Amino acid sequence: METTLKGKVALVAGATRATGRAIAVELGAAGATVYCTGRTTRERRSEMDRPETIEETAELVTRAGGEGIAVRVDHLEPEQVRALVERIDTEQGRLDVLVNDVWGADKLAAWSTPIWEHPLDDGLRLLRLAVDTHLITSHHALPLLIRNPGGLLVEVTDGTWEYNSANYRLCAFYDLAKISVNRLAFSQAHELRPYGCTAVSLTPGWLRSEAMLEGFGVTEENWRDATVHQPHFVISESPAFTGRAVVALATDPERERWSGQSLSSGQLAREYGFTDVDGSRPDAWRYIVEVASAGKPADATGYR
């Protein structure tokens, strides 16, 4: 297996924070040139209204050992995405890894609210941000990706196909958005296969994102203090865990065996042997089914 992505070019769409940022940084740590896109810059915030910026992400990529390039892009605007891909083609002449991680709809989902009571405009906007952005980005970027065999497309979602197919995901709009991304990876795998390229969907577990840590009033250093209020947070993982999963796929010359599949960070950690930042291998989706959803007391023994 290769140990470096030096000379490879990646686009992480939705790299401002959380999983997208960590994927970009881990790709950079493996030596890749990473285009980091999103809507929040130091001059202008998106509707998420959070402080993380794409410039910070690009600087973290460079600091990790790669080359980070920040580009403000609204992935709902096809012309902006087209211009981005043309820039990558002009500057690099190739694209080896595309990560569709655009989301930005946290404030739009009304949890445990039936579809007839859910604000319709918010629900439809959520679907546009979660699904249309991925379709638009793939439409413009995949012609560059398939120029060379071996390209990798990662569709980032929340939940495996198995879990999302069997469980209601908090509201109809969110439920549809997340399983749609699972299916989108399957469809694109079929279309990419003749070109020697791979597409997968990938989900983190219970993510210790900036917003999640902030909500619990903890940091990455003392996150376990949050288990006092939410005991099952014991299975949580850092965003870097999913970033390392993407690097493992990108550096595996036999990654095509995964094409079309729904994968999780914990599953790939068992396969490739990487760990989270604390040296553990949390298997969140198995824990959620076997412990949390089963009504058992919080105990991550055997799950990380």
pLDDT in tens, 154-179: 999 999 999 999 999 999 999 999 99
**Confidence bin at 46 (pLDDT 50/70/90):** confident
Output the pTM of the full model: 0.96
Distance CA 296, CA 286 (A): 13
> In whole angstroms, what is the distance from residue 41 CA to residue 71 CA?
9
pLDDT at site 1: 45
| pLDDT surpassing 90 at residue 3 | no
Mean pLDDT to the nearest integer, 33-60: 94
Q: Span 115-133, mean pLDDT?
A: 98
Do the Cβ atoms of 34 and 68 come closer than 8 Å?
A: yes
Integer angstrom CA distances of residue 216 from 66, 99, 219, 220, 233:
32, 28, 9, 11, 10
Token pair recorded at residue 218: 């903890």
pLDDT digits (tens, 9 = 90+) for 95-119: 999 999 999 999 999 999 999 999 9
Helix (H, G, I), strand (E, B) or coil at 143: helix
pLDDT in tens, 262-302: 999 999 999 999 999 999 999 999 999 999 999 999 999 99
DSSP class per residue in 247-301: HHHHT-TTGGGGTT-EEEHHHHHHHH----TTS----HHHHIIIIITTTPPP--T
What is the DSSP secondary-structure string of 31-66? Answer: T-EEEEEES--SS---TT--S--HHHHHHHHHHHTS
Active site residues: 174
Amino acid letter, residue 256: E
Which residue, among 60, 47, 40, has the nearest Cα to 243 in the 3D structure? Answer: 60
